[in-house]
A and B are shown apart, each in its own frame.
Chain A
Amino acid sequence: MSEKEVVLLDFWPSPFGMRLRIALAEKGIDYEYKEEDLWNKSPLLLKSNPVHKKIPVLIHKGKPVCESLIALQYVEEVWPHKSPLLPSDPYARARARFWADYIDKKLYDLGRRTWATKGEEQEAAKKEFLDSLKLLEAELGDKPYFGGDKFGFVDAVLIPYYSWFYTYETCGNFSIEADCPKLIFWAKRCLEKESVKKSLPPQEKVYGFVLELKKRLGLL
């Protein structure tokens, strides 16, 4: 068992894991990072998340918190004073939660379909994926961050997908920047932050991982 109060069960390319890495880094929380092999899940993972058996799992003082958005809010509630990610106004909080929910409902599955499918299905996924990003870009508007002047909840939820953009673009043969230049600008601003820089893997590394995954799944 770990000496540290906080343990994160994670998998390096996971955008869901990345958002927790960012939040913990933002708040200066010391934790133990445990890399899981998703084809050989550890007994700790299976015990900590028996219902879904998925990463990330945040373990705080031995108690597991599953589902990344839930764990993100937990981190925010337990360590509210350092770099708060959610605003204090209830309406602004509701809007942040809404967009975080929207991001999770759309981007992972659509993004996956841009690299895992071909032909018509892939074209449809690309279009829907770009439409979703454009909607997010409109929500960002002229603000430096989704959180306003400061990096916030929605920023932490969305920025991990940026590490997958090269993969989506290369596998899907399209350019995200062409359709969503403001979003790319926002992403690069986020990447200037230490917490984000150290939590996101290089885009090329993710691409290499996906190529291996495609081979494994017989998709090449």
Chain B
Amino acid sequence: MAGDAVKLLGAWPSPVVMRARIALNLKSVGYEFVEENLGNKSQLLLQSNPVHKKIPVLIHGDKPVCESLIIVQYIDEVWSSGPGILPSDPYDLATARFWAAYIDDKWFPSLTGIAKAQDDGAKKAAIEQVSEGLALLEDAFRKCSKGKTFFGGDRVGYLDIAFGCFLGWLRVTEKMNGVELISRSKTPQLAQWAERFCADPAVKDVMPETDKLAEFAKVLFAKFKNPPSQ
């Protein structure tokens, strides 16, 4: 089963797609990456994820797995002989899942809130919200890492992947708004962690360059300010 062909449907700017790629890299699993055009989704994508029609989708053999964090857990369970991604202790696992859910449900939406803010006041409030979230995550890092390099300990783990995938977009947001969100002064632990995460062999080739992402972001954000009239 682990030997079946692996395909990943995704798009290079998508942080959640990166989660699946990092997990596959950690397990040294070869896969075919299919770049989707989200304005013209492939038949394969629509068939593989008929409910949400979203990326990433992992297709293992002929079986589609959808939702990025579910994909990461699947990868960890199938390629169980490789380095472990999910914490093995149930309480540590619950904690990692809690923060991953917080990042998806609250923190990342607050980050995109900065781009969507229509005036300076709204922007300032959005930035404040993101910073408050980062203060919580700085504290979470202290507790989860237990003095080690990553949220997962000595190695990149589930929560590192869940959070770290957003670092590209975080840097773009900082650049476009002239603010520091993760910094050595405000969030020293996260600042160090971010550098180590981005340098990790499983991450560095799949993390898009900030400049390339910034160019892409400019086009995307123009749509927020001037939504198409249809």
Contacts and interface: CB of A to CB of B under 8 A. Distances in A.
A70 B97 contact: yes
Nearest to B49: A98
A167 to B, nearest CB: 25
A63 interface: yes
Interface in B167-207: none
A97 B67 contact: yes
Given A70-B97, A90-B77, A90-B78, A65 B70 contact: no
Given A67-B101, A98-B70, A74 B93 contact: yes
A66 to B, nearest CB: 6
Interface string B36-74: 000000000000000100000000100101110011011
B63 A74 contact: no
B91 A63 contact: yes
Contacts of A94: 65, 70-71, 73-74
Q: Is the interface of B mostly helix, strand, loop or mixed?
A: helix
Interface size class of A (residues with CB under 8 A): 20 to 34
A70 B98 CA distance: 7
Interface residues of B, number: 21
Contacts of A60: 91
A220 interface: no
A74 B94 contact: yes
A101 B91 CA distance: 21
A71 interface: yes
Most buried by B among A74, A78, A90: A90
Contacts of A65: 91, 94, 98
A199 B65 CA distance: 32
Given A70-B101, A97-B73, A98-B70, A77 B65 contact: no
Given A70-B101, A77-B93, A91 B67 contact: no
A71 B94 contact: yes
Contacts of B78: 90
Most buried by A among B93, B94, B101: B94
A51 B102 contact: yes
B63 A91 contact: yes
A91 B61 CA distance: 11
Contacts of A51: 102, 136
A102 interface: yes
Nearest to B96: A70
A73 B86 CA distance: 13
13 contacts: A51-B102, A51-B136, A70-B94, A71-B94, A74-B90, A74-B94, A91-B65, A93-B73, A93-B74, A94-B73, A94-B74, A98-B65, A98-B66
Going nearest first, the 3 A-B pairs with the smallest beta carbon separation are A90-B77, A77-B90, A94-B74
Interface of B: 51, 60, 63, 65-67, 70-71, 73-74, 77-78, 90-91, 93-94, 97-98, 101-102, 136
Given A73-B94, A98-B70, 20 more contacts: A65-B91, A65-B98, A66-B98, A70-B97, A70-B101, A73-B97, A74-B90, A74-B94, A77-B93, A78-B90, A90-B74, A91-B60, A91-B63, A91-B65, A91-B74, A94-B70, A94-B73, A98-B65, A98-B67, A101-B67
